[in-house]
């Protein structure tokens, strides 16, 4: 059975974006972010994080830092009974200082590769799914696969998410 999904950008949507967030001690959740994830979980939606992480390509941090931060985020969400079904990130950038990360990638937003990779692995109902991002490139990625994109410009993320998902609907069919 296909289920709707909420695709969240990370920096600027789930956590405050103060430039290349990779240290657990520097992550600050956006108001209502954890509650937004929990609301989507409770409504039966799949929940994904899709994030460009060019800081890896720029040599500012390494992939294991991104993975450790995502593990910490998952643990913190679990404390309120919330979870992310999958975290996806793109470490590539065409102007990378680290050669192995210097390339144009189908996974780097605005390209939809992270989304299409998730669509291959999970039974997602595209017609009932949404992407929440804070940049036009996020919305471009959503448009490329036919998912409704919502521009988040601050405030309470849970309020926005609750306004677009219907927990009363049977999302399993």
Which uninterrupted H or E stretch holds 51? strand 46-52
Are the C-beta atoms of 66 and 56 separated by less than 8 Å? yes
Does the domain spanning 1-28+50-104+114-125+145-152 belong to CATH 3.40.50.1000?
yes
Portion of the chain with pLDDT greater than 90, in percent: 94
- Residue 170 predicted with pLDDT over 60: no
Q: Please indicate whether residue 11 is annotated as part of the active site.
A: yes
Q: Which residues 6+ apart lie within 8 Å of 61 measured at CB? A: 20, 22, 55
Q: Which of 11, 85, 134, 138 is catalytic?
A: 11
Provide the Cα torsion 93, 94, 100, 105; round to 10°.
70
How do the domains of the chain map onto residue ranges?
1-28+50-104+114-125+145-152
Which among 67, 81, 79 is positioned nearest to 24, based on CA atoms? 67
At 168 the pLDDT is 54
Which among 46, 60, 56, 73 is positioned nearest to 129, based on CA atoms? 46
At 173 the pLDDT is 44
The band of 22, judged by pLDDT with boundaries at 50, 70 and 90, is very high
Are the C-beta atoms of 74 and 33 separated by less than 8 Å? no
For 127-147, the pLDDT digits (tens) are 999 999 999 999 999 999 999
Q: Please indicate whether residue 156 is annotated as part of the active site.
A: no
Rounded to an integer, the average pLDDT of 90-105 is: 97
For 51-62, the pLDDT digits (tens) are 999 999 999 999
Which uninterrupted H or E stretch holds 66? helix 63-78
The band of 169, judged by pLDDT with boundaries at 50, 70 and 90, is low
């Amino acid at each position: 059975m296909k289920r709707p999904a909420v695709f969240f950008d990370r920096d600027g949507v789930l956590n405050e974006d103060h430039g290349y967030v990779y240290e657990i001690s520097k992550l600050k959740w956006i108001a209502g972010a954890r509650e937004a994830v929990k609301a989507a979980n409770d409504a039966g939606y799949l929940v994904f994080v899709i994030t460009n992480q060019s800081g890896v390509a720029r040599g500012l941090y390494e992939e294991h830092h991104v993975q450790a931060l995502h593990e910490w985020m998952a643990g913190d969400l679990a404390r309120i009974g919330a979870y992310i079904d999958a975290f996806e990130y793109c470490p590539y950038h065409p102007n990378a200082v680290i050669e192995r990360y210097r390339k144009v990638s189908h996974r780097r937003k605005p390209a939809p590769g992270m989304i299409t990779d998730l669509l291959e692995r999970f039974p997602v109902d595209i017609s009932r799914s949404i992407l929440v991002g804070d940049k036009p490139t996020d919305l471009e990625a959503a448009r490329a696969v036919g998912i409704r994109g919502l521009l988040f410009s601050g405030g309470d993320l849970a309020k926005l998410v609750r306004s677009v998902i219907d927990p009363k609907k049977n999302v399993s069919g």
